[in-house]
């Protein structure tokens, strides 16, 4: 532990935690990180997490008391407001509003990914795969020349989509899903995010093993395709 006034309470696989971790890294903010097992939530965590979810950001205040910030984008917005440089939101109000909309779109993709990765047979798997393909086609139409969502400057939209693409790094190593086929700008964006140090450092080296173990536990169709 570094003794930082900030502690990110996390889980090794949670994509929402990764958003906050990326934002903290991009800002150069020192923080501690504390992983928990969500299948056996410790009492101290249940007592301070209103929704029983990660991430939490524990903020030690000057008087020594600790405040709890919950929900990933609330944490990211808090980080943005308290440490404005470098900015992860655009200055223009309309552009910022559009970014927030695409962040919500990213959250909807994560909801679809849950159904995709936990599907136990081909029917639900293909339904979710088609839905994901359609959503990424919408993103392809929105992207410019890159390398990031809004061009040369990394933003919170990038912090949201980097964990999404990380899933496909693991999925496609098992068996290609085809979700991102024919989407050159999206694929280039995925590569740019994968190379970003903040993105790489948001998980441990064991992340692929943890995700594959989760898929096995779920009896996922994704694994049966290569059995």
- What are the residue ranges spanned by the domains of the chain? 6-82, 93-224
Is residue 227 very low, low, confident or very high in pLDDT (cuts 50, 70, 90)?
low
Residue whose token pair is 């990394």: 154
Rounded mean pLDDT, 131-141: 98
As assigned by CATH, the class of the 93-224 domain is: mainly alpha
What distance in Å separates the CA atoms of residue 101 and residue 122, rounded to the nearest whole number? 32
Assess contact for 29 and 6: CB atoms under 8 A.
yes
Architecture of the CATH domain 6-82: 3-Layer(aba) Sandwich (3.40)
Rounded mean pLDDT, 82-90: 96
Which residues neighbour 160 within 8 Å (Cβ) at sequence distance 6 or greater? 19, 102, 103, 106, 107
**CA neighbor of 166 nearest in space, from 20, 8, 36, 13:** 13
Is residue 225 very low, low, confident or very high in pLDDT (cuts 50, 70, 90)?
confident
Residue-averaged pLDDT of the chain = 96
pTM greater than the 0.85 cutoff? yes
**CA neighbor of 222 nearest in space, from 177, 179, 178:** 177
Residue whose token pair is 């993709």: 109
Rounded mean pLDDT, 55-59: 98
Task: Catalogue the active-site residues.
Answer: 14
């Amino acid at each position: 532990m570094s003794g930082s006034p900030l502690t990110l309470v996390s889980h090794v696989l949670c994509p929402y935690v990764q958003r906050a971790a990326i934002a903290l890294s991009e800002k150069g903010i020192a923080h501690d990180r504390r992983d928990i097992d969500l299948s056996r939530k410790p009492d101290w965590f249940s007592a301070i997490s209103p929704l029983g979810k990660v991430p939490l950001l524990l903020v030690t205040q000057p008087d020594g008391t600790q405040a709890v910030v919950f929900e990933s984008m609330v944490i990211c917005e808090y980080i943005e407001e308290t440490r404005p440089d470098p900015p992860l939101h655009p200055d223009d109000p309309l552009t910022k509003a559009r970014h927030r909309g695409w962040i919500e779109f990213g959250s909807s993709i994560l909801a679809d990914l849950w159904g995709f990765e936990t599907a136990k047979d081909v029917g639900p798997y293909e339904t979710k795969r088609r839905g994901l393909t359609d959503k990424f086609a919408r993103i392809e139409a929105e992207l410019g020349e890159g390398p990031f969502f809004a061009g040369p400057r990394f933003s919170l939209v990038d912090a949201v989509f980097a964990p999404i693409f990380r899933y496909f790094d693991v999925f496609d190593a098992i068996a290609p899903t085809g979700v991102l086929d024919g989407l050159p700008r999206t694929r280039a964006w995925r590569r740019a995010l994968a190379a970003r140090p903040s993105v790489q450092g948001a998980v441990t080296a064991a992340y692929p093993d943890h995700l594959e173990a989760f898929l096995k536990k779920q009896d996922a169709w994704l694994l049966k395709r290569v059995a």
